[in-house]
Amino acid sequence: AQSVTQLDSQVPVFEEAPVELRCNYSSSVSVYLFWYVQYPNQGLQLLLKYLSGSTLVKGINGFEAEFNKSQTSFHLRKPSVHISDTAEYFCAVSRTGTASKLTFGTGTRLQVTL
């Protein structure tokens, strides 16, 4: 079975500063990796995904993530955040070839202030 650890429950950051949200996963087989974002009072929406190929994945709203197999990590980064990036971010993992079960992390609350 796979699992996901998001080490930071909250990350405060000033507007225009860079940010990194950390995600580590555990799995004995190959995986797909995802970042989802949840804005207040809304459902989740996909930010980016890694299925195969290039380990640097670019997503919407200027976010990117890098798949590091040796460190079993998939950290999310943005070079300059905006107030509108304030949201909860979830890392998720699934086994390749099935994905009937997507396992989510516990989430990281990104709070951007002026």
Choose between 10 and 80: whose C-beta lies nearer to another protein.
Answer: 10
Q: What phi and psi values does residue 83 have, to the nearest 5 degrees?
A: -50, -40
Longest dimension (CA), the chain: 43
Task: Tell me: does residue 89 bind another protein (CB under 8 A).
Answer: no
Of 11-19, 53-61, 76-84, 102-110, the window that binds another protein (rule: CB under 8 A) is: 102-110
Candidates 10, 26, 30, 42; binder of another protein (CB under 8 A) is 42
Q: Nearer Cβ to another protein, position 71 or 96? A: 96
Judging by beta carbons within 10 Å of its beta carbon (0-12, 13-18, 19+), is residue 109 exposed, middle or buried? middle
Which of 43, 54, 70, 114 is the binder for another protein (CB under 8 A)?
Answer: 43
- Interacting residues with another protein (CB under 8 A): 9, 32, 34, 36, 41-46, 49, 51, 90, 92, 94, 97-107
